Structure formats: structure tokens, C-alpha cells
Amino acid sequence: MKKSLFLLLTLLMAWPAPAQETVQASTDTASEISAAAPQDPAERNRMLYSLGFLLGDNLKRQLILDNEDDYKALSQGMRDSLLNKKSQTVLDDYKPQIIEKYQQDALTISQRRAEEQKEFLENFSKEKGVKVLDNGAMIKLSKKGKGRTANAASKVTVNYEGKLIDGTKFDSSYDRKEPFTASLTGVIPCWTKALQYMRTSSKATVVCPADTAYGNRPVGIIPPNSALVFEVELISIDD
């Protein structure tokens, strides 16, 4: 149980990483950063505020805080810890309750997300022009291309933007200013099916139920069991 709690708390420090990118810092780069001129105090405050906001964003994905008193108690505990003050409680006495809260909140959040995603998928499937594929993936063309279609073994080049159903963007080739190229045998099942219904130069909204995307695996900022929404532009096909 203690190990589970440690892992849960450690997750709060996870930095949201783009699905297609990894970041490496060399020893030389780190030395250069440490030797740089002192940061402007106002800019440092904005950076630390941003860090606090991200920590809060991660925390609310794992815990249910119901009212202002909840927020005040939690923030006071964090403040006292960061300022190396003595705890106002006997921490070991509350570890069982903390673990229980994490477990109960995780179950509640998971159930809420499942209901939200079910509703989203049902509503999207009823929109005009939506085609539901045999694996559950859905596609809605916004621009009909005039080129040819791919097959399951084709290599395609696309531009795309991926979001969670709440609108949170997790990846974008547009942001990277570089189209994405891959074989349809090497992408998520949703894409393998949906992109075979697109012609070159077409654009579409592709909605992927969790079991046609990453299933119960978390990927970057994508939580487990997430339905995904992609805006896809098929640029070319290379068999």
C-alpha cells in the first residue's frame, strides 16, 4: 500500500509530454543553463506559477475536491511541506485514509469518464455524414479528396491534430510544422481502418474509441481508456 501511495504521489510530478517527442538534455547543456545569467524575478514567478498550475492540473485528474475548504486544506499542507514547517497532523495516522481516498476517487473519476465518453461517442455517431466502421472507429469527411485510397499495408503522409474529448490537445503535426509519415500497419487500429476511407487531399474528423486507440495504456497526457478525436488531412499515399 505504501508503494502504491508513493507512486500515486509521484505522478503529480509527471510533466505532460507530446506523444511523438522525447526531450534530452546533455551535461554540457545543463552546465550552460546553470551558468546563464540570473532569471528575471517576474519571469521566474510566471514559470513557477505555470509549474504550480500543471501540478494542480495533474492532481485534479486523480482526486475529487468538492469545495473551497478542500482546496484550502490541501494547499496549506503543501505550503507547510514546501516551507519545511512541522506538520499539523500525525501523517502516519492519515495514510490509510489517503490511500482509501485515492482508490475511491480513482474509481469515481474512471466511472465518470466512461459515462462521458459513451455519451460523446453516441452523439458523434448520430451526426450527419458519420460512418461507423466495423471496429467501432468513426469517420466524418469535411473535404472529399479526388485522389486514390490506401490499403491496409500502405504508407501514408498526413497532417493531424489529436485531442481528448474535452478538447485537450495532446499532439499535432501542425504544431511541429512537419507532416507525419507511417505505414498503416504501424499506427493505432482506428487509423488503420479510417484512413482507408480517405482519398488523397481529403480531410476528416476521426473518432477513436479507446479500444481502437491506446486501450488501458496511458500515453503522455492521454489517460488510460481514452477516446480520441483526430482532425486528419491525407496528403499522400505510397504503396
Same domain, 112 and 168: no
Radius of gyration for the alpha carbons in the chain, expressed in angstroms and rounded: 22
Instruction: Output the nine-digit C-alpha cell for 147.
Output: 485522389
Same domain, 52 and 85: yes
Same domain, 154 and 206: yes
**What pTM does this model have?**
0.71
160 is catalytic: yes
In tens, the pLDDT along 19-59 reads: 443 233 334 444 444 455 567 889 999 999 999 888 888 88
Q: In which domain, by residue range, is 174 found?
A: 128-238
Domain count, the chain: 2
175 is catalytic: no
**pLDDT at residue number 224:** 87
Question: Which of 100, 119, 138 is where one domain is finished?
Answer: 119
Same domain, 7 and 107: yes
Same domain, 163 and 62: no
Given a cut of 70, the residues of the chain with pLDDT beneath it are: 1-38
Instruction: Output the nine-digit C-alpha cell for 219.
Output: 500515453
Same domain, 108 and 137: no
102 is catalytic: no
Backbone angles phi, psi at 231, to 5 degrees: -100, 120
**pLDDT at residue number 103:** 94
Q: Which of 139, 221, 222, 230 is flagged as catalytic?
A: 230
Q: Which of 98, 99, 165, 188 is flagged as catalytic?
A: 188
Question: Which of 81, 97, 119 is where one domain is finished?
Answer: 119
214 is catalytic: yes
Could you tell me if residue 208 is left (phi over 0), alpha (psi between -120 and 50 degrees) or otherwise beta?
beta
Same domain, 100 and 175: no
Same domain, 100 and 209: no
CATH number at residue 210: 3.10.50.40
171 is catalytic: yes
Pairing of strands 203-208, 169-172: unpaired
**pLDDT at residue number 36:** 54
Same domain, 185 and 113: no
Q: How many CA atoms does the CB half-sphere of 96 hold within 13 Å?
A: 1
Question: Which of 98, 119, 140 is where one domain is finished?
Answer: 119
**pLDDT at residue number 66:** 85
Q: Which of 214, 221, 235, 237 is flagged as catalytic?
A: 214
**pLDDT at residue number 68:** 92
